[in-house]
Amino acid sequence: MQPLRIVLAQPRGFCAGVVRAIDTVEGAIRKYGAPVYVRHEIVHNAHVVNDLRDKGAHFVEELSEVPDGAITIFSAHGVAHSVVEEARARGLPVLDATCPLVSRVHVQVRRHAAAGRAVVLIGHAGHVEVVGTMGQVDSPVHLVSCEADVERLVFPAGAEIAFVTQTTLSIDDTRGIIAALKARFPAILGPETSDICYATQNRQVAVRELCDSVDLLLV
């Protein structure tokens, strides 16, 4: 029998934004004691979520599930402006664990909307990050998930348009959609730098390369 050869991906593990979010929850439990309340799972990882739950974190979907005065944490995916306002109105002590890259996209959306531009978001409908990003402004944010969605976009003549992207998509996911947007709307404004999380992209590349040289890949 051939000896088993195990290859570890490089890079691997969590990005800095996820580590920061996990540390926020663990730090809150140490400082304030259990329970603390986290709006949505802090990250999409069952092992991490179960470990934090065992330590005293309560994961909820709505702030209405959070008792008055309880320590409240926003997940790494970010939240809509209405959620921030609801927490403020209730006087909840909030720790914001939103990934800094997601926060940067939020700033871009607000800036474009304030300048009167129509905003297009490349992302997956219903994803927690997308819900939070679309909720940054009162004006419509137009979600596109594929090139066919781009063809269905309709804007008034002369409208200024800008686009942003969900951070956890891959460059491969967005390349065709961005090309379609630029083909239909040549003057469209895009991010100064890529909104794609470089850590996510690097790990996706590592997985793709490993698939060419191993018999079984475990994630």
**How far is residue 132's CA from residue 135's CA, in Å, rounded to a whole number?**
5
Residue 129 annotated to the active site: yes
- Find the catalytic residue in 61, 65, 86, 129: 129
Say how far residue 41 (Cα) sits from the centre of its chain.
12
Positions annotated as catalytic residues are 129
